[in-house]
Structure 1
Amino acid sequence: MSRLMRTNGKRGADGPYAPPVAARELTAVSADGARLHIEVHGPEGAPAVLLSHGWTCSTAFWAAQIRELAQQHRVITYDQRGHGRSPAPVGPAGYSTQALADDLEAVLATALEPGEKAVLVGHSMGGMTLMASAGRAKFREHTAAVLLCSTGSSKLVAESTVLPLRAGRLRTRLTKSVLGARAPLGPVTPVAKRILRYATMGPGSSPDKVEACARIVHACPRLVRHGWSHVLAGLDLDADVRELRTPTAVIAGTVDRLTPVVHARALVAALPNCVGLTELAGMGHMTPVEAPDAVTGKIRELVGAYVQAGQAGQVGQVGHIKEGA
C-alpha cells in the first residue's frame, strides 16, 4: 500500500453532493511518473468497488454511490490525471488511452491486495479506461465484474447529438470544435447550467443535480479538458471491448446526447460476457447523478453475484431493461 497522503484541491461540489470524508487517502504512481489521488471509503475487508469517473469530472461525481455503498463496501475512487487532485499531464504525451490504462493499473496495485478482486465501475471516459485496460494483467487480476455507464468505444464525435443537426461531416466537424474548445467555462451561472443540462442531462433533471454537475465540470482545468477532448475525438477501443471477458453490465440514458444509447447497444453486441443492459428512460449522460439508485443498485447486484457469491466468470443472459425516469 502507498503511504497516506492528504492534499487540498477543488472537489467541485458541496452539500449533499460532496462525498463524505475518506477513511484513507493514497497516492498511486503511474508508469510515466504521474501521481494519482485515491480515496478509500468504508470498512477494511469489505467487498471492494472501484469507481472511475469521466471527462471533466472528479471523485465528487460519485457522491451518491459512495454514501450508499460505503456502509457495507470498501469504495475506492480516484481522480483521473489532470482532474480533481491528480496533477495534469506534462505535455501531449500524457494524454492517451494507454496512459488511462497505466493509471488504472497503478491504482489497482496501490488500493487492493495482491489477487483481491473488485467490481470496477466506469462512467464515460472512466468506462473507456476500463475498456482500454481489458488486456492488462493487473486488470484481470483484480476485476470480478464491470459496470459501464454512459460510455462508448469509438465514433464518439460522429454519433454525438449535442448539436441538433443531421448526421454527417458538418455535424461531426462542428461537434469536434465545440467539445474541443479551449475557451474557459467560467463561473457557474444560470446560463451555464442551462447549457450543461441540455448537453449532458435529461430534461427532467432537478436543479440541485444540475448545479452539482455544473460545479464538478467547471472545476476541471481548461487545458486538461482540451487535452482529453482530442483523445476522445480519435477514440477507437473496439478491439479492446472484445478482450473484456469479465462479466460486464451496461447502463445508458435514453436521451444521452454525448454518448447516445446506440453506443450501449453496440457494446452489448461486442462484449464477450455481457450480463445485462439497462436503458434509463429520460436520463442523459450523467446517469450516476441523474439516476443514483439505479446505478448503485446495479453495483450491488454485481458485488453480490461476482464478489460475495464467488461467481466470477459465470456467463449470464443479456437482460434488456427499460426503466422509467
Structure 2
Amino acid sequence: MSAVAVHHRVDGPAEAPALLMINSLGADLSMWEPQLPALTGRFRVIRYDARGHGRSPVPPGRYALADLGRDALALLDRLGVGRAHVCGLSLGGMTAMWLAAHAPERVDRLLLFCTSALLGPPSGWAERAATVRAAGTGAVAGAVVDRWLTPAYAAAHPAERDRLREMIAATPAPGYAGACAAIEEMDLRPDLPRIVAPTLVVAGADDPATPPEHGAAIAAAVPGARLEVVPAAAHLASWEQAGAANRLILEALDG
C-alpha cells in the first residue's frame, strides 16, 4: 500500500532538532499535549494522525506496520527532515521500532513508551477489529480507556477520562480496524538487534496492555537500550504521569 499524506502539526522552533511523536491506536495527535510545554522550547515537535485516525485519510482494508512506517517517512520527506528523534507509544512505539530497524539513517534517538515487539494473540486483534467494523469504535472506547489510565487516576480526573474516551470513539471504524490488523500480524523481535539508535524504553508499572515485561524484552534485545518503569501509570503513561515522562524524554535526548 502506498504512503498517504497524514494530517500533522509542527510546534517549536524551525531550526531546532526534530522530534517525531507517534500516537497509540485509537488516538489522535492531541494525546501528546501534556508533552508540549516541556518540549517545544527546545525541539521542533512533529505530531501527526496515523492513517485511519483523526483527520488523516482512511484507506480501506488491512494496514501493515510497514504502511504506517512509510507514512511517517513520507511526512518527514514533505517537511524536509532528514533525521529526527522518534518517540512512539503503543502502536506508535511499534512504528518507531520499524523505522529504527528499516530506516536507521532517519532516526537519531529512539524513545519507546508502553509498547511491545509482539502483542498477541492474533485472534484478539481480529476479534476487536470485527467488533469495531460491526458496532463502531465507540463499542470498545470504554474498555480501551480503562487500560489507558489507572482506576485511581480515572476516578480523580473524570473529565480527562471522558475526553480520552471520546477521542477513541471518534476514530473512524475502518481506520481503527485496519490498524488492528497491523498489530495482529506484527512480530518485530527479529528487527530489534538491528536497531542502532540510542534507545530508551519506558513502561508503566500498572499497564495491563503492555506490561513492563514487554518493555524489558525490548530493552534486552536492542543493543545498549535501557528500561525505565514509571510508577502509578497504566498504558497512557505519557498522559497520566506527564511530569515523569517529560523528564525521561529530556534526559534521553540530552544524553
Counterparts of residues 71-90 of structure 1 (less than 5 Å): 71-90=41-60
- Residues 241-295 of structure 1 show CA distances to partners (whole Å, capped at 9, x for unaligned) of 1211110001111221111211101011111120x21111221111111111122
Contact 2:3 2:67 in 1 (8 A): no
Partner residue of 2:150? 202
Question: What value does the CA root-mean-square deviation take over the aligned residues?
Answer: 2.3
Partner residue of 1:300? 250
Partner residue of 1:270? 221
- Residues 202-234 of structure 1 show CA distances to partners (whole Å, capped at 9, x for unaligned) of 122132331232122111111211122122122
Partner residue of 1:287? 237
Residue 8 of structure 2, aligned match among 25, 31, 38: 38
SS at match of 1:50: strand
Partner residue of 1:216? 167
Question: TM-score scaled by structure 2?
Answer: 0.89
Counterparts of residues 237-248 of structure 1 (less than 5 Å): 237-248=188-199
SS at match of 2:100: coil
- In 1, the alpha carbon distance for the partners of 2:84 and 2:124 equals 40
Distance 1:185 1:140, change over 3 A: closer
| In the alignment, structure 1 residue 122 sits paired with structure 2 residue 70 | no
- In 2, the alpha carbon distance for the partners of 1:144 and 1:120 equals 7
Contact 1:100 1:132 in 2 (8 A): no
Which one has the largest radius of gyration? 1
- Residues 299-319 of structure 1 show CA distances to partners (whole Å, capped at 9, x for unaligned) of 2112222xxxxxxxxxxxxxx
Contact 2:137 2:176 in 1 (8 A): no
Q: CA deviation at 1:176?
A: 5.2
Q: CA deviation at 1:173?
A: 5.0
- In 1, the alpha carbon distance for the partners of 2:128 and 2:68 equals 23
Counterparts of residues 97-108 of structure 1 (less than 5 Å): 97-108=65-76
* Alignment coverage as a number of residue pairs: 250
Distance 1:149 1:44, change over 3 A: same
| In the alignment, structure 1 residue 135 sits paired with structure 2 residue 83 | no
- In 1, the alpha carbon distance for the partners of 2:139 and 2:37 equals 28
Contact 1:61 1:216 in 2 (8 A): no
Contact 1:180 1:229 in 2 (8 A): no
Q: CA deviation at 1:111?
A: 2.5
- In 2, the alpha carbon distance for the partners of 1:263 and 1:187 equals 27
SS at match of 1:152: coil
Q: Structure 1 residue runs of 4+, over 6 Å off?
A: none
Partner residue of 1:145? 109
Equivalent residue letter for 1:149: F
Partner residue of 1:70? 40
Distance 1:272 1:91, change over 3 A: same
Distance 1:175 1:96, change over 3 A: closer
Structure richer in helix, relative to its length: 2
Distance 1:177 1:248, change over 3 A: same
SS at match of 1:181: helix
Question: TM-score scaled by structure 1?
Answer: 0.71
SS at match of 2:45: strand
Contact 2:207 2:235 in 1 (8 A): yes
SS at match of 1:102: helix
- Residues 140-192 of structure 1 show CA distances to partners (whole Å, capped at 9, x for unaligned) of 233221100000011x134xxxxxxxxxxxxx85675246522224499xxx6
Structure 1: 5+ residue stretches without partners: 1-30, 159-171, 306-325
SS at match of 1:39: strand
Contact 2:131 2:139 in 1 (8 A): no
Structure 2: 5+ residue stretches without partners: none
SS at match of 1:36: coil
